[in-house]
C-alpha cells in the first residue's frame, strides 16, 4: 500500500461555505443547449443523452435537486436540472419518493437514469458536498464546481470523493467541471473522480482537477477489475500527488490532457489495465506514467506526448516508471472517432476550455477553441404561435417514409409514426412545450439534410438540436421549422430535440434526405 502523502500547496483554497437559503427553490425554466456533444467512451453502449427530451427545472439548493428527481413520474423519466448558487450541507436534505433514493449531505443519484445536472447563470458550486452516482445510468454533469469534499473531519460527504461512481454505473459524461480539494488524505480528502464496482462507459472532458493528494481511480482494489472504458480528454490535472488516474484492469484513453505538477506519480496502470496515452503535455512532474505501488503490472500505448521537465525514478521493486523514454508495451483499439490537437498547443487550449464557467468552449482539433451554443438563453417571447404552412421539400427521396419513429412523452392523441407517414394532416406533439422525436432505420443510413414541417395550429419552435442518436453528436441546431443541411452522417437513428418553444409544437413530418 502506498503511504499517505499530503499534497503540498502553495496556498490552501478557502473552505468557507457560503450561506444559502435552506428552502427548496424549484421552477420550470427555459431549456438548456448543451455543448458540442458527448465524446469518448460515453458515446458507446447506446450513448449518453442525460435528461434530453425531458422537463427542464431550476434548482438553487441541494434539497431542490433531490425534489426534482423525486417529482418525476418514474426513476427513468428524463430531466435536466439547471443549478445556480452554492449547494452545501445546510441546504441539502433527503427527499423521499418512488422515483428517487436520496440522502442528506450528498447529492445522491442512486438507482435512477436519464438525468442532466448543469450549472447555469452565475455558476453552481457544490461546497464540501460530493456527487454520488450509484446503480445508475445515462447521467450528464456539466459546468459545475465541486470543492473540498472530506471523508474525515467535518463535515464529511460522499466518502471524500468530489464525484464518485459505483455499483453497475453505465454511461456517464462529466464535462467542463472543476474538481478541487485543499490537501491530501491526512487533511481529510480522498479522490476527485473515482469509479469502482463495475462502472463503465465514462467520459471526463474539459475539466480541472487540482490541489489534491489523489486525482481519481478506476477500480478500488486489485480484484476490482470490472471497471473501464473511460476517456479523459482536454483536462487539466494540477498539483496532484498521484492517481491521475490509477487504473486497475480495464481500458482507458487519455488524450490532449495537460498534467502539471504531478508530485509523486501520474497515470498508474496496474493489474492488467491498458492505457492509450495520446498527445498529452506533461510538465514539471515526476514519474508521470508507469506501474506504481504494486507488482501487478499494467500496460500502455504511447504516442505524441510531450515531457517538459519531467523527472523519472529508477525502477525497483513495486515502482516501475515507464520513463525516461516511454515506449508502448501494448496496443489499444479505440471504437469511437476523435481528433487530436497537437501536444505542443495542449496547455494553451486546455487553459481556454477546461473547467466550469468557461463558456463550455471546446477544441476543434486545430488548437483553436470554439464556443458552443449558449447554455442559458433565458426566457424568450416569440409572440403568438403562427401557422408557417408547408415548406418546399429538398430534392430527392424522403428517407423517413417507411422508417420507424419513437421519442419522448407524447401529447394525448398524437403518434410518433405521424412524422414519417407523409401526411401533413397528422402530427406528433410532446407532452409539454419541449421533447424529442426520432426517425430510425434497421441499418446505417446516410443523412445530410432534414426538413421539419409543422401542422396547422402548431406552436413555434424557439430552439432545437438535431442529434446523431448513435453517438450523441450534434448535427445542427437552430430555431423554427424548415430545411437544415449538415455534414453527411451515417447513422441508424436521428433525433429532433426541441429545447424551447412557444405553445406546443405539432410536428407533421420529420423528413430526411441523403443530399
Q: What is the DSSP string of 457-513?
A: TPPEEEEEEEEETTTTEEEEEESSSEEEEEEEEEEEEEEEEEEEEES---EEEEEEE
3-state helix, strand, coil split of the chain in percent (to 5) is 5, 45, 50
Contact 353, 360 (CB under 8 A): no
Provide the CA 374 distance to its chain's centre, in angstroms: 17
Cα–Cα distance list, 273 to 217, 241, 352 (Å)? 12, 21, 31
Q: Out of 243, 261, 270, 274, pick the active-site residue.
A: 243
Strands 145-147, 131-134: pairing is: unpaired
Place of cell 438525468: 115
Rg (CA), the chain: 23
CA atoms within 13 A on the CB side of 261: 12
What 8-state DSSP symbol labels residue 332?
Answer: -
Q: What is the DSSP string of 382-432?
A: --S-------PPPSS--TTTT-EEEES-B-TT--GGGGGSS-TT--B-BSS
The CA distance from 247 to 217, in Å, is: 6
What 8-state DSSP symbol labels residue 45?
Answer: T
Q: Which are the contacts of 131, defined by CB distance < 8 A and separation ≥ 6?
A: 106, 107, 109, 117, 141, 146, 158, 162, 163, 164
What 8-state DSSP symbol labels residue 352?
Answer: H
Contact 24, 63 (CB under 8 A): yes
**Grid cell listed for 450:** 432534414
Strands 362-363, 319-321: pairing is: unpaired
**Grid cell listed for 295:** 507488482
Which own/partner contact pairs does 148-154 have at CB distance under 8 Å and 24+ positions apart?
A: 148/13, 148/15, 148/180, 148/181, 148/182, 148/189, 149/181, 149/189, 149/190, 150/188, 150/189, 151/188, 151/189, 151/190, 152/188, 153/187, 153/188
Strands 507-513, 435-454: pairing is: antiparallel
243 as an active site residue: the answer is: yes
Tell me which residues are annotated as active site: 243
Amino acid at each position: 500500500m502506498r503511504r499517505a502523502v499530503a499534497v503540498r500547496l502553495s496556498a490552501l483554497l478557502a473552505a468557507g461555505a457560503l450561506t444559502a437559503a435552506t428552502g427548496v427553490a424549484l421552477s420550470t425554466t427555459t431549456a438548456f443547449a448543451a455543448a458540442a456533444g458527448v465524446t469518448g467512451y460515453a458515446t458507446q453502449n447506446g450513448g449518453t443523452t442525460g435528461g434530453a427530451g425531458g422537463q427542464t427545472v431550476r434548482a438553487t439548493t441541494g434539497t431542490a435537486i433531490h425534489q426534482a428527481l423525486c417529482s418525476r413520474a418514474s426513476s427513468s423519466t428524463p430531466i435536466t436540472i439547471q443549478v445556480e448558487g452554492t449547494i452545501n450541507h445546510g441546504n441539502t436534505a433527503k427527499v423521499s419518493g418512488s422515483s428517487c433514493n436520496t440522502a442528506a449531505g450528498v447529492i445522491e443519484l442512486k438507482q435512477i437514469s436519464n438525468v442532466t445536472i448543469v450549472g447555469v447563470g452565475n455558476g453552481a458550486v457544490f461546497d464540501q458536498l460530493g456527487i454520488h452516482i450509484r446503480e445508475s445510468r445515462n447521467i450528464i454533469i456539466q459546468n459545475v464546481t465541486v470543492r473540498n469534499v472530506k471523508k474525515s473531519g467535518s463535515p464529511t460527504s460522499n466518502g471524500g470523493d468530489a464525484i464518485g461512481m459505483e455499483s453497475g454505473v453505465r454511461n456517464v459524461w462529466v464535462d467542463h467541471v472543476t474538481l478541487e480539494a485543499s490537501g491530501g488524505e491526512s487533511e481529510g480528502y480522498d479522490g476527485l473522480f473515482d469509479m469502482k464496482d463495475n462502472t463503465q462507459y465514462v467520459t471526463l472532458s474539459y475539466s480541472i482537477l487540482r490541489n489534491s493528494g489523489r486525482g481519481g481511480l478506476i477500480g478500488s482494489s486489485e480484484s476490482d477489475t470490472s471497471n473501464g472504458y473511460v476517456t479523459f480528454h482536454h483536462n487539466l490535472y494540477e498539483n496532484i500527488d498521484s492517481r491521475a488516474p490509477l487504473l486497475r484492469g480495464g481500458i482507458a484513453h487519455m488524450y490532449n490532457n495537460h498534467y502539471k505538477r504531478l508530485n509523486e506519480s501520474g497515470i498508474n496502470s496496474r493489474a492488467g489495465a491498458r492505457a492509450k496515452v495520446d498527445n498529452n503535455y506533461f510538465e514539471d512532474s515526476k514519474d508521470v506514467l508507469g506501474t506504481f505501488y504494486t507488482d501487478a503490472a499494467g500496460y500502455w500505448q504511447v504516442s505524441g506526448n510531450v515531457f517538459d521537465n519531467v523527472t523519472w525514478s529508477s525502477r525497483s521493486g513495486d515502482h516501475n516508471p515507464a520513463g525516461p523514454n516511454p515506449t508502448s508495451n501494448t496496443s489499444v483499439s479505440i471504437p469511437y472517432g476523435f481528433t487530436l490537437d497537437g501536444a505542443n498547443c495542449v496547455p494553451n487550449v486546455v487553459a481556454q476550455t477546461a473547467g466550469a464557467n468557461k463558456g463550455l468552449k471546446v477544441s476543434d482539433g486545430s488548437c483553436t477553441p470554439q464556443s458552443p451554443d449558449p447554455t442559458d438563453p433565458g426566457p424568450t417571447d416569440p409572440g403568438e404561435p403562427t401557422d408557417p404552412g408547408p415548406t418546399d421539400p429538398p430534392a430527392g427521396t424522403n428517407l423517413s417514409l417507411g422508417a420507424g419513429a419513437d421519442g419522448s412523452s407524447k401529447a394525448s392523441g398524437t403518434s410518433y409514426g405521424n412524422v414519417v407517414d407523409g401526411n401533413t394532416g397528422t402530427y406528433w406533439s410532446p407532452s409539454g412545450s419541449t421533447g424529442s422525436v426520432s426517425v430510425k432505420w434497421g441499418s446505417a443510413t446516410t443523412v445530410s439534410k432534414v426538413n421539419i414541417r409543422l401542422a396547422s395550429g402548431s406552436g413555434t419552435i424557439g430552439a432545437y438540436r438535431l442529434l446523431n442518436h448513435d453517438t450523441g453528436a450534434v448535427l445542427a441546431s437552430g430555431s423554427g421549422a424548415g430545411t437544415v443541411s449538415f455534414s453527411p452522417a451515417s447513422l441508424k437513428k436521428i433525433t429532433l430535440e426541441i429545447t424551447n418553444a412557444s405553445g406546443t409544437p405539432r410536428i407533421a413530418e420529420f423528413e430526411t434526405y441523403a443530399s
